[in-house]
């Protein structure tokens, strides 16, 4: 049986930038094994599969697969799926609620000057456990000098990350994942997914970032919305931030030739983060049909 698909580029206003995503808008009938095979065939960072909603108040059910495994939540697939469904007239623009393994996720879809934008909003606790590896371990994982690592910490909202702040953009560009060091020092940590960045880590700051998730079959990700959501949530959660909205602008994927522009924000009230949001443009690339694996 053949299934329709759309391909979009997420966190880019024009095609052939940002993070690629394949969306199967009518995936009913596909087994988890078949979905995994389809995700491996597209070989993008993620592929999404849309099913009928289980709760009448929501828009649809969405499952997300990397080439290697299913994940409960991810940022660029959530925003990309919502915009792809609106582009293909499967749903209207406006507020969509996607049922993901992590729970209902809200995406506001708008079109301005012919460009689609999606804003993902999450509520709930920011996970930020102690016990991150020492800076020397992450220097080894990234094949850089220990002096170039400023701090290492864990955080996550649906998908966990190990965040590594580096001293310069040049260090971010120069970093190379050492698989042996990653296997011994990070693969069994709270999060083996490493998001490394440089820039102004303050409200309104601009960051230059890269991300690698070997455990998920992703050597490098051009844009990681879930990491940006966790990062602004973790920073806004700090007691020394007393404002109401914490914002970061993140540029990712440059070295891969797929520049991605991500706007992330966290809202805070009474000393606690109440929500995190990630926003970006989505560009249409292609549509077609794929033969489902048996």
Give the distance from CA 116 to its chain's centroid.
18
3-state SS assignment for residue 7? strand
Q: Residue 290: how many CA atoms within 13 Å on its side-chain side?
A: 25
46 counts as catalytic: yes
- How many whole angstroms separate alpha carbon 238 and alpha carbon 240? 6
Give the distance from CA 10 to its chain's centroid.
10
- How many whole angstroms separate alpha carbon 232 and alpha carbon 21? 24
- How many whole angstroms separate alpha carbon 27 and alpha carbon 5? 9
Strand partners, 273: 268
- How many whole angstroms separate alpha carbon 45 and alpha carbon 209? 16
- How many whole angstroms separate alpha carbon 141 and alpha carbon 2? 42
Q: Which of 26, 41, 46, 130 is catalytic?
A: 46
| Cβ atoms 126, 230 nearer than 8 A | yes
Strand partners, 196: 164, 210
Rg of the Cα atoms in the chain:
18
- How many whole angstroms separate alpha carbon 196 and alpha carbon 198? 7
The residues near 270 (Cβ < 8 Å, ≥ 6 apart) are none
The tokens of 148 are what?
Answer: 């170039």
Strands 70-71 and 60-65: antiparallel
Catalytic annotation, residues: 46
């Amino acid at each position: 049986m053949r299934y329709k698909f759309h391909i979009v580029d997420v966190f880019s206003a024009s095609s052939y930038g940002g993070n690629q995503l394949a969306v199967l808008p009518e995936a009913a009938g596909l087994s988890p094994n078949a979905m995994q095979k389809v995700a491996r065939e597209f070989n993008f960072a993620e592929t999404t599969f849309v099913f009928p909603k289980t709760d009448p108040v929501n828009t649809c059910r969405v499952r997300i697969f990397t080439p290697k495994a299913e994940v409960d939540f991810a940022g660029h697939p959530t925003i990309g799926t919502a915009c792809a469904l609106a582009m293909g007239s499967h749903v209207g623009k406006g507020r969509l609620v996607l049922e993901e393994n992590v729970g209902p996720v809200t995406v506001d879809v708008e079109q301005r000057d012919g460009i689609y934008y999606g804003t993902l909003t999450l509520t709930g606790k920011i996970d930020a456990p102690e016990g991150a590896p020492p800076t020397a371990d992450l220097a080894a994982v990234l094949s850089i000098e220990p002096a170039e690592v400023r701090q290492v910490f864990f955080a996550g909202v649906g998908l966990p990350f190990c965040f590594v702040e580096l001293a310069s953009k040049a260090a971010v560009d120069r970093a190379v994942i050492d698989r042996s060091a990653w296997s011994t020092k990070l693969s069994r940590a709270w999060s083996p997914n490493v998001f490394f960045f440089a820039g102004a880590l303050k409200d309104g700051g601009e960051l230059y970032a890269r991300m690698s998730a070997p455990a998920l079959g992703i050597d490098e990700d051009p844009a990681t919305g879930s990491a940006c959501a966790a990062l602004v949530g973790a920073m806004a959660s700090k007691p020394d931030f007393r404002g109401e909205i914490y914002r970061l602008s993140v540029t990712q994927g440059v070295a891969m030739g797929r520049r991605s522009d991500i706007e992330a924000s966290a809202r805070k009230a009474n000393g606690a983060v109440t929500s995190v949001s990630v926003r970006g443009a989505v560009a249409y690339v292609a549509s077609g049909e794929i033969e489902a694996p048996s």
